Amino acid sequence: MNIVKNLVSPSLYYCKCPYSMNPTRIVVHNTANDASARNEIQYMINNRNEVSYHYAVDDKEIVQGIPENRNAWHAGDGGNGLGNRQGIAIEICYSRSGGARFDAAEALAAKFIASKLKEKGWGIGQVTKHQDYSNKYCPHRTLDKGWQRFLNMIQAELGQTTQSSPSTPSTPNAPSGEKYSTGTPICTNTLSVNCYGTGKVYKGDWNGTIGRVIKGAKYPYRVDRNGVAIGWTNDTGIDTDPHIPGGSTQSVQTVLNGIPSDFNRESATFYPNTTLKIRKAPTEKGIDTGLYYSNGMSVRYDGYVKREGFVWISWISASTGERRWMKAGVLNSKGYNTNPYGRFA
């Protein structure tokens, strides 16, 4: 098994892996793009974003970017979360397009994870997924294909007995009543982790496009956002918000006090290097509070969203109890904060 080391410079430990770590688990991810393992790691170790992972695996090799005795920022469960502070993060490449390359990468990842379990004396229970730590449908393609199926692949590498996986229904078990087809923009208040309804089902507010329909399934519609699957829903979950099919254009919120479905929880401090307006919603059209943060100041925030090409950090105002939003950087074409408006710590 070919493992290439391309470790992050110690000068970037402050943003990539600031804490020493005694790992207790593995956290599986899908990259949601089509870059190779070497390119994934090279990009990660070259920027100053607080996003990091220990390994990337493609169809040919495994590349390491963070030492296993250092933490990484990957699970979305905050500065003291079990995923971020105790998990070895493994990214499986080529998940955006899938196909033979992804299947080969997933197979190599299963083999690699099995070797790690043997090395550390762990069992299959130490293999977890990003979704276990935050409300994010990741590893998205692995979940689409079946999480138990992937665990079975690992157990097969270990020579262990595997559990049966539910088969994907390809034809209706009952008369098909699906109202929507692929490519349809929808809004839903329900997301299931799979089409069978055998895993967790979340309630909230999500919008996206139907990327796949499995007729006869309990949750037949796969919801995609920006080309990445975020979960499955059904006719009951699809609600009557303005941005469902046939509705009028959704207006931009100028005030957002709640936590939206694309909110990423992260407890950290931001030190701006320029003057930034504080708004009541994560949009340029959000109401301006008349307040700002500037160079020499800092703000403690509890999460962020990525909208309108920017990262918007957020916190609760101590004086009003309302949620506040502020731009903290510009996103590149891959959705990474490559031009931050200050320093994260």
The Cα–Cα gap between 82 and 2 comes to 29
> Does the pLDDT of residue 177 top 60, yes or no?
no
The Cα–Cα gap between 283 and 330 comes to 13
The Cα–Cα gap between 210 and 96 comes to 16
CB 119 within 8 A of CB 68: no
Most confident of 55-64, 266-275, 335-344: 55-64
Q: What is the pLDDT averaged over residues 181-198?
A: 79
Q: Can you tell me which residue has the tokens 């793009």?
A: 33
The Cα–Cα gap between 306 and 210 comes to 21
pLDDT digits (tens, 9 = 90+) for 61-115: 999 999 999 999 998 888 888 899 999 999 999 998 899 999 999 999 999 999 9
pLDDT interval class at 227 (50, 70, 90): low
* CA distance readout (Å), 280 to 61, 84, 314, 337: 46, 29, 10, 21
> Does the pLDDT of residue 163 top 80, yes or no?
no
Least confident of 25-34, 150-159, 170-179, 224-233: 170-179
- Write the burial class of residue 270 (CB in 10 Å: 0-12 exposed, 13-18 middle, 19+ buried): buried
Q: Which residues contact 121 (CB under 8 A, 6 or more apart)?
A: none
Q: Can you tell me which residue has the tokens 């303005």?
A: 242
Q: Find the farthest-apart pair of alpha carbons in the chain and give their distance in angstroms, rounded.
A: 64
pLDDT score of 308: 82
Q: What is the pLDDT averaged over residues 284-302?
A: 89
Percentage above 90 pLDDT, the chain: 45
More reliable by pLDDT, 70 or 285? 70
The Cα–Cα gap between 85 and 257 comes to 29
pLDDT score of 78: 81
The Cα–Cα gap between 123 and 158 comes to 10
Residues belonging to the chain = 345
pLDDT score of 339: 84
The Cα–Cα gap between 335 and 33 comes to 11
User: What is the chain's mean pLDDT, rounded?
Assistant: 84
CB 89 within 8 A of CB 53: yes
> Does the pLDDT of residue 314 top 90, yes or no?
yes
Nearest to 6 by CA among 48, 49, 51, 52: 52
* CA distance readout (Å), 90 to 12, 99, 127: 20, 19, 10
More reliable by pLDDT, 83 or 2? 83
pLDDT interval class at 21 (50, 70, 90): very high
Q: Which residues contact 117 (CB under 8 A, 6 or more apart)?
A: 26, 123, 124, 126, 127, 154, 158
Q: How far apart are the first and last CA of the chain?
A: 36
pLDDT interval class at 252 (50, 70, 90): low
* DSSP summary character for residue 309: T
The Cα–Cα gap between 26 and 72 comes to 12
Q: What is the pLDDT averaged over residues 296-300?
A: 88
The Cα–Cα gap between 301 and 278 comes to 13
- The neighbouring-strand residues paired with 299 are 270
pLDDT score of 126: 92
The Cα–Cα gap between 154 and 28 comes to 12
More reliable by pLDDT, 170 or 21? 21
pTM: 0.55
